[in-house]
Chains A and B, each alone.
Chain A
Amino acid sequence: MTATTRTGEQKGEGSPWLVEILLRPETTLILVIIVIGIVTAIKNPNFLNVGNLTDIARAAVIYFVMACGASLLMIGGGLDFSVGAVFTLGGITAAWLMGIAGIPWPIAIMGGLAAGALAGYANSQVIARLHVPPIIATLGTYFVFTGLCIQITGGQDIVPLPKDFQRLGQGTIMGVPFVVIYAVAIGLVFWFVLERTPFGVEVRAVGGNRKAAAANGLRVGRIETTLYVLGGFTAALAGIIYAARVGSGQVSAGGSGVTLAVVTAALIGGISLLGGLGSITGVAVGAILLSEIDNALIVAAVPPQYNTIIVGVILIAAVAIDHIRRERLYRIRR
């Protein structure tokens, strides 16, 4: 078997599995997570309470679900700054449909998801047809979608939402919050798509070298549109999960902070802004790390300004370390 997949002498492969694991971006991050956990637990043992750890997981879920779509998009060479607004739009749309229009909540959820997918499609079209660079196009749509949310709600939060819907966001099974189960399921789907389907390979090809992908007959435009739609979809999904968790459709749920958190989680998790590289497991660890920092600083009673400073330093360190790692792995010149 191995003989058939090799054509000559070994090269650039065959490093021992331990080295391979240590070189993975996730490994460093997991170590950082453990270190922060230990330091915080020493200052305040309550950090390790099941209830507190569950809170961390709950918050990480929101980042992670959004980051699944956002990361796939970034691996494909795109970027979506509107996710913070689409997050709100998804939650608000679903909440409005079930809370004000009186539509049954399962259909309202689909309505919210459709709004997110539509927003993603709008992003892709602004980029493809108007030739606006992704970062500017989605910054523009971020403002547009934010305005739409206020328009829909008149600036008021939508309450109350149906009890059954709230249970989706608040319930637990054997101590595990439903939302964590959703996140795992969504993570598995995105992992499968990225690592085990031809589409995943094509996404990496488009992100790695768009021109080459097109020259090889890949329908680059179609792939990019799909990625923006998926990005909008997961942002809205996260918004709906959040609405269910807090029991209301909040106009101020998302915003630029959420956009930056999601992009940060993806970058910390080893997604390259240059496209092509990254993994869903990395993003999961990145999301958990962000959420842990948020929580740890509160539990350890550290003044809030340190939160942003620490996140900023970790982001820069993660990307810098990633560059060094990649230089070694791929011998990137230039």
Chain B
Amino acid sequence: MSTLAHSRTGSPASAGEPSLALEGIGKAFGQVKALTRVDLTAYPGEIHFVVGDNGAGKSTTLKILSGMFRPDVGSVRIGGIEVHMRDAAEARQFGIAVVHQDLALVECLDIATNMALGDIPRRGRIMLDRARMERDAAKVLSGLKIRVGSVRTQIGLLSGGERQIVAIARAVRTNLPIILLDEPTAALGVRETAHVGEILDELRAQGKTIICISHDLEFVFRHADRITVMRLGNSVATLMRGSTNRDAVVGMITGTIGAAAESAQE
């Protein structure tokens, strides 16, 4: 399996054209400068982690990538073309699926409906195709070996871990080429975390571009191809997993190690 091969060497499966690139992104909210300069280049068939301390700007970066914020300066390129996304719907049109940290699930709706939000199957022009909605959801869930009971179960009845898995399954269902995840394992136990890791590996094997924010360095080092370290609103370095180690990354996150020497040259 190519996944294993390249995860051993730490080199990308297809280091060709980047599928997504942020260049010199800056973003301020009034007086607060959330991002000063963020550069990030992600490739298809890779899991690209973004790590950093609280307040480093990880979530703001992800919200720019998902169309929820617009950058003040800098450019977002998808497939080499500069894009300007105004909302989440447009991000989807550009091929970006997002798993938000708060999961963005509607508690009073069932699993199948939540998984279809934003892309609800229709019968004819105006009718809701509930049967297809439920079939699609069940297919995606069983494909990911996820067991959450009936797809008609209300989200409000699920545990935190189950909700996280449903949110990820929803992103998978869109079958979009770029998947962003914000802290997908924060609320999970050991077994569930491993399951999420398997799903990410599977998506990588399918050639998706995966960008994932995480605090869990063990998880990061188990699944990463590339790691971008952020600090105080800047992307301080992007490292290949094979060419760095945990201590170096921690040093960069906290600022005790300068970044320039470690940074991988693109």
Contacts and interface: CB of A to CB of B under 8 A. Distances in A.
Contact of B151 (A7, A201, A217, A329): A7
Interface stretch (B16-24, B106-114, B234-242): B106-114
A325 interface: no
Contacts of B104: 209, 211-212, 215-216
Nearest to B91: A217
A197 B139 CA distance: 22
B211 interface: no
Contacts of B107: 208-209, 276, 330
Interface stretch (B39-47, B120-128, B201-209, B256-264): B120-128
A50 to B, nearest CB: 38
Interface in B107-161: 107-109, 112-113, 116-120, 122, 126-128, 131, 134-135, 138-139, 141-142, 146-154, 156-157
B122 A5 contact: no
B87 A13 contact: no
Interface in A180-215: 196-198, 200-202, 204-205, 208-209, 211-215
A277 interface: yes
Contacts of B118: 216-218
Contacts of A7: 138, 141-142, 146-151
Contacts of B149: 6-13
Given A196-B127, A217-B118, A330-B154, A276 B106 contact: yes
Contacts of A5: 112, 131, 134-135, 138, 150-152
Interface string B219-238: 00000000000000000000
Interface in B145-184: 146-154, 156-157
B105 interface: yes
A4 interface: yes
Contact of A12 (B68, B89, B122, B153): B153
Interface string A249-293: 000000000000000000000000000110000000000000000
A217 B87 contact: yes
Contacts of A276: 106-109
Given A198-B122, A208-B106, A219 B151 contact: no
Contacts of B122: 198
Interface of B: 66, 68, 87-89, 91-92, 98, 100, 102-109, 112-113, 116-120, 122, 126-128, 131, 134-135, 138-139, 141-142, 146-154, 156-157
A114 B154 CA distance: 39
Contacts of A218: 89, 117-118
Contacts of A131: none
A117 to B, nearest CB: 20
Contacts of A129: none
Contacts of A14: 150
Given A5-B134, A7-B141, 9 more contacts: A7-B146, A12-B149, A12-B153, A196-B128, A204-B108, A208-B107, A209-B107, A215-B88, A276-B107
- 8 A-B pairs with the lowest CB-CB distances in the bound complex, closest first: A11-B149, A8-B147, A217-B89, A217-B118, A215-B104, A212-B104, A198-B120, A276-B108
A210 to B, nearest CB: 9
A331 interface: yes
Contacts of B105: 209, 212
